[in-house]
Amino acid sequence: MLNLQVENEAPVVGRQVSPAAIFDTLQRYQQTMALKGAIDLELFTHIAKGVVTPGALALSCHASERGIRILCDFMTILGFLRKTDEGYRLTPESAVFLDKASPAYMGSITGFLSSERTLARFSDVAAIVRRGGPEVSSMQPESDWWVDFAEHMGPMVMMVAQMAANLLAQPGRRVRVLDIAAGHGLFGISVARQNRAAEITALDWKNVLGVAERNAARAGVQDRFRTIPGSVFEVDIESRYDLVVVANFLHCFDIPTNIGLLKKVWTAMKPGGLLATVELVPNEDRISPPIAASFSMNMLGATNGGDAYTFSEFDRMFRAAGFDGSRMQLLEPTPHALILTAR
């Protein structure tokens, strides 16, 4: 039986101490599942078309009015809808990112971020903490985990990739770009779109490169898009690159592994070349800002040595691999940062 303690006197509890946050947190999974459900039902897309009452939305979404009303209220509480006397309205965020007719629609990210198999990774966090990592790392060679990632996360990454390319593309200059662990390929592709003289080499496992090649063809840059299939830790890389992009990759490994990788990157670069690292970078306290700092939990659940590294940790890794100092630039309003390091 549980520690009900009904035999004792009432615990002395300060007026301001409430169990509300605990109660709330233990049910936050419903926030993930409900937003995913709303995207599945194309709720935001229907509201964008002017269908705004529970009754009308129930018809459009082929759903029950009770379910739609409760879901719309819940989305309002979470900040993804507004509730007015006339019906529900999109917020600026849901209009840009959750309406299928928007060019920045990113509903597909649920297929990776909160897919059944991603959620399954976190079904027993105590066991993960005991082990210090997942039962099976997501870093297995040729894992289709990363095909899933590349196929679903593109729209989320697009904004980050475009902002990074604004800073990296050097339009008109002939630059050879190596995109390491390219995934969807969007970092290299974004540079190629902004600089018609840029040549991109995307390195990733063969199964993942299929996604990148399709995206390059859609962007019309396929004639300047080469690939190197394989693991960056194993393949040979020529010393020919002006710009190396390592986006959302170093967080997958421990520091010694990263230093080894960065030494290889150093040799692949021409003198005067630039290394561009894109990451979620927490402050030195590792507990702020919330989204970047929380990312370490993701790495605990998915990798055996990865982490959300601070800027000073990155800087030490780059120096240990032979690079000079780095500087960091936030890619706001996204939660990502770009770290620029000279060879």
Q: Which of 325, 231, 331, 340 is nearest to 280 (CA)?
A: 331
Q: CA-CA distances (angstroms) from residue 26 to 20, 29, 78, 92?
A: 10, 7, 16, 29
Question: Which of 14, 50, 271, 272 touches a second copy by CB under 8 A?
Answer: 14
The secondary structure of residue 11, as a DSSP letter, is P
From residue 203 to residue 242, what is the string marking binding to a second copy with x (rule CB under 8 A)? -----------xx--xxx----------------------
Longest dimension (CA), the chain: 79
Cα–Cα dist 86/97, whole Å: 23
Question: Which of 51, 52, 102, 224 touches a second copy by CB under 8 A?
Answer: 102
Using CB under 8 A as the binding rule, whether residue 105 contacts a second copy is answered as yes
Using CB under 8 A as the binding rule, whether residue 96 contacts a second copy is answered as yes
**Footprint (CB under 8 A) of a second copy, residues 171-190:** 184, 186, 189
Sequence-ordered list of residues with C-beta below 8 angstroms from that of 264, at least 6 positions apart, any chain: 232, 233, 237
The answer to whether 343 and 310 are in contact (CB under 8 A) is no
Using CB under 8 A as the binding rule, whether residue 106 contacts a second copy is answered as yes
Q: Are strands 241-247 and 269-279 parallel, antiparallel or unpaired?
A: parallel
The secondary structure of residue 9, as a DSSP letter, is P
Q: Toward a second copy, which CB reaches closer, 264 or 286?
A: 286
Question: Which of 87, 154, 188, 273 touches a second copy by CB under 8 A?
Answer: 154
**Footprint (CB under 8 A) of a second copy, residues 23-82:** 23-38, 40-41, 61-68, 70-71, 73-74, 76-80
Question: Which of 50, 86, 126, 271 touches a second copy by CB under 8 A?
Answer: 126
Sequence-ordered list of residues with C-beta below 8 angstroms from that of 87, at least 6 positions apart, any chain: 52, 53, 56
Token digits of residue 98: 């959750």
In the complex, the smallest distance separating the C-beta of residue 40 from a second copy, rounded to whole angstroms, is 4
In the complex, the smallest distance separating the C-beta of residue 277 from a second copy, rounded to whole angstroms, is 19
3-class secondary structure, 180 = strand
Q: Which stretch binds a second copy (CB under 8 A): 237-245, 257-265, 314-322, 330-338?
A: 330-338
In the complex, the smallest distance separating the C-beta of residue 205 from a second copy, rounded to whole angstroms, is 19
In the complex, the smallest distance separating the C-beta of residue 328 from a second copy, rounded to whole angstroms, is 18
